[in-house]
Each structure stands twice: as C-alpha cells, then as structure tokens.
A and B are shown apart, each in its own frame.
Chain A
Amino acid sequence: EDQVTQSPEALRLQEGESSSLNCSYTVSGLRGLFWYRQDPGKGPEFLFTLYSAGEEKEKERLKATLTKKESFLHITAPKPEDSATYLCAVRRGKFQFGAGTQVVVTP
C-alpha cells in the first residue's frame, strides 16, 4: 500500500532559524511528489512538483529536494509569514497526502 509520512508533526522556529521538513514515501511508479502550503481555513496552495531523484526546486526561502525514498522541504531564514501547515503528496494514479507539518515561526 502506498504511504506518505511527514515529520515532524509540528515545528516551532525562531525567525531566521533554518530547518527542514521531511516527507518519506513508499510508492512504485511515482508520477510526481508535490508540496503544498495550507493556511488555517484555506485550501492548499501549490508550491512545487518534483519528478525524479536529485531534482531540486526553489521559491523564495523554500527549497524542495527529492530522493528515491523521501523529499525535504528546506526553509531558509524563515519569517513569521512562513507559518503554515506544509503538506506533501505523491501521485501514482490519484494523489495521496501526508498528514502535514505545522510550522510556527515566531519573531
């Protein structure tokens, strides 16, 4: 059975304190690994798609990387506005989401 596991469940950071979120997956025939950001009471906002091991993508303070078994979302020098829940999802046929990592960045 395909599985997507995100860790940690929650992360509290000081502003400027860089960190990484993990998304490990077990799925054969991966058709993409996706990162989304979700603010409370809103729908997920698309961030990145990664397709193959070794691929990296960046957007502002976020960088996503992919290996054959996991993906990392690196947050560099985070700001309070980076506070959100970050979801990863994998796609073989349909999408399967992880439980998310809730990130809180304090000033």
Chain B
Amino acid sequence: GAVVSQHPSWVICKSGTSVKIECRSLDFQATTMFWYRQFPKQSLMLMATSNEGSKATYEQGVEKDKFLINHASLTLSTLTVTSAHPEDSSFYICSASDPSYNEQFFGPGTRLTVL
C-alpha cells in the first residue's frame, strides 16, 4: 500500500501559539488529502478535504480560520492550528488518495497537547 508520513509525531505547545503539522505522500501523488481529528476512544472525525492547488473544503462546525490547510503540491499538505487552546489538544491524522486508488492511506498521526 501507499505510504503517508506526518511530522511531527507529537508536539507540546503553549496556549496562544500556532502549530503546523505536515502530511506527505511518499510514493504516490495525492490529488486529495484529508485531515481528521480523533479523541480518545472515539472514531475519526473528518475536519476538511483538501485538493491540490485549491481551497480546502471544511466540514460543518470546523473553523477554517483556526485550522488553516494548505495543499500546495501533490505530495504535501499542511494543517496549521492557529492560536491553539487546550481544547484543541487531540490526535490529528491525515490521509491521502489519488485517482488510481479508491482507498485512503493514513499517516501515523500527530499528538497535539496545548498547555
């Protein structure tokens, strides 16, 4: 299967700071990438869908000004959590797909802790 990486794997930051998470597709071109959030013992919650070269589509209830998504190339998407607060602490996971695949391939996730 395709390989997707995320960086960093974990991050601790102070309240009010911004944090950027990178998602890369390593062996295929990802025309579409997805960002999910997962709380303990809960399933994945889709935050937004990003297509290369266009604006991300956010799910209802997700603040686009708080969670900035950029998909500037076919192998890289970034999620920036702006002015992070403790309630933003969560496990963030990206996934990627391309037209050749019907599946999504997931990154290993990023654990964000906001103090």
Chain A interfacial positions (CB closer than 8 Å to B): 31-32, 34, 36, 41-46, 49, 87, 91, 94-95, 97-100, 102
A43 to B111, CA, bound (A): 11
Taking CB atoms, residues of chain B closer than 8 Å to A102 are: 41
A14 to chain B, nearest CB (A): 23
A-side contacts of B111, CB under 8 Å: 41
C-alpha spacing A95/B78, complex, angstroms: 20
Contact A46–B1 (Cβ < 8 Å): yes
Q: How far apart are B29's CB and chain A's nearest CB, in angstroms?
A: 18
CB within 8 Å of A: which residues of B? 1, 4, 6, 34, 41-44, 46, 49, 91, 93, 95, 102-109, 111
Name the A residues within 8 Å of B102 (CB-CB). 31-32, 49, 91
Cα of A79 to Cα of B34 in the assembled complex, Å:
32
Shortest distance between the CB of A48 and any CB in chain B (Å): 9
Assess A46 versus B46: contact at CB under 8 Å? Given A41-B111, A95-B34.
no
Contact B108 A87 (CB under 8 A): no
CA distance A44 to B104 in the complex (A): 10
Whole-angstrom distance between the alpha carbons of A46 and B44 in the complex? 14
| A43 CB contact (under 8 Å) in B41, B42, B103, B106 | B106
